Structure 1
Amino acid sequence: MMKELQQGAETNIPVVDLGEIGVGGPEDPSEEDWRSVGEKLVKAFSEIGFVYLSNHGVPSNMVDEVNTQSGKFFELDETTKLRYKRGKTEVQGYTTPGQERLITEGDVRELRESYDVQHMDGMFPDEEVSGLRPSVKVLIEACKKLASRLLTAIAIGLDLDRSFFVSTHNQMCSDNNSSCLRLLYYPSVPTNVCEGATRCGAHTDYGTITLLFQDNLGGLEVRDREGTWMNANPILDTVLVNVGDLLQYWTADKLRATEHRVLIPKEEMLKKIPRRSVVFFVHPDNPVLVKPIDGSTSYDPVTVKMHIDKRFEDTYQY
Structure 2
Amino acid sequence: MAELPIIDVSALRSELEEGDPDLQIRLCNQVKEAGQQWGAFRMINHGVEEELVHNVDSVSRDLFNLPPQVKERAVSHSFDGYLKPGALSSGEAMGLPAVLTSGSLQQYAQKLWPQGNPKFCETLRTYSSKLANLVNSLIKLILQGLGLSKHFYTDFVDCEAVIGLNYFSVCEKVDGSAIRFKEHKDFGLMTILYNDQVGGLEMRSKQGEWFTVKPLVGSFTVIMGNSLKIWSNDRCWSVEHRVAYGGREPRLSVAFFWNFSEEIEVYAPEELIDEHYPRHYKPFLFKDYKNATT
What TM-score, normalized to structure 2? 0.87
1:302 corresponds in structure 2 to 284
Give, in whole Å, the separation in 2 of the partners of 1:300 and 1:143. 30
1:16 corresponds in structure 2 to 7
Query: Which structure is higher in helix share?
Result: 2
1:262 corresponds in structure 2 to 243
Higher RCO by CA contacts (8 Å cutoff, separation 6 or greater)? 1
Give, in whole Å, the separation in 2 of the partners of 1:289 and 1:220. 32
Root-mean-square deviation (Å): 2.1
Query: Judging changes above 3 Å, is the alpha-carbon distance between structure 1 residues 167 and 183 closer, same or farther for their aligned structure 2 residues?
Result: farther
1:158 corresponds in structure 2 to 146
Give, in whole Å, the separation in 2 of the partners of 1:207 and 1:86. 20
Query: Judging changes above 3 Å, is the alpha-carbon distance between structure 1 residues 284 and 166 closer, same or farther for their aligned structure 2 residues?
Result: farther
- The answer (yes or no) to whether the contact 1:35–1:156 under 8 Å persists in 2 is no
In structure 2, what residue type is equivalent to 1:276? Answer: L
User: Post-superposition shift, 1:298?
Assistant: 0.6
- The answer (yes or no) to whether the contact 1:34–1:156 under 8 Å persists in 2 is no
Give, in whole Å, the separation in 2 of the partners of 1:196 and 1:264. 4
1:285 corresponds in structure 2 to 261
Identity fraction in percent: 24
Q: Per the alignment, in what secondary structure is the counterpart of residue 242 of structure 2?
A: strand
Within a 5 Å distance, the mapping from 1:1-318 to structure 2 comes to 10-22=1-13, 29-88=19-78, 91-98=79-86, 101-102=87-88, 110-120=89-99, 121-122=103-104, 123-126=107-110, 127=113, 130=117, 131-161=119-149, 163-165=150-152, 167-172=154-159, 177=160, 179-191=161-173, 197-265=178-246, 271-293=247-269, 294-295=272-273, 296-312=278-294
Structure 1 unmatched ranges of 5 or more: 1-9, 103-109, 266-270, 313-318
What TM-score, normalized to structure 1? 0.81
Bigger Cα displacement from structure 2, 282-291 vs 210-219:
282-291
Aligned residues between the structures: 279
User: Post-superposition shift, 1:303?
Assistant: 1.5
Query: Judging changes above 3 Å, is the alpha-carbon distance between structure 1 residues 95 and 277 closer, same or farther for their aligned structure 2 residues?
Result: same
Bigger Cα displacement from structure 2, 238-247 vs 56-65:
56-65
Q: Per the alignment, in what secondary structure is the counterpart of residue 305 of structure 1?
A: helix
Structure 2 unmatched ranges of 5 or more: none
Map Cα deviations across residues 51-71 of structure 1 (whole Å, 9 max, x no partner). Answer: 111111112221211111111
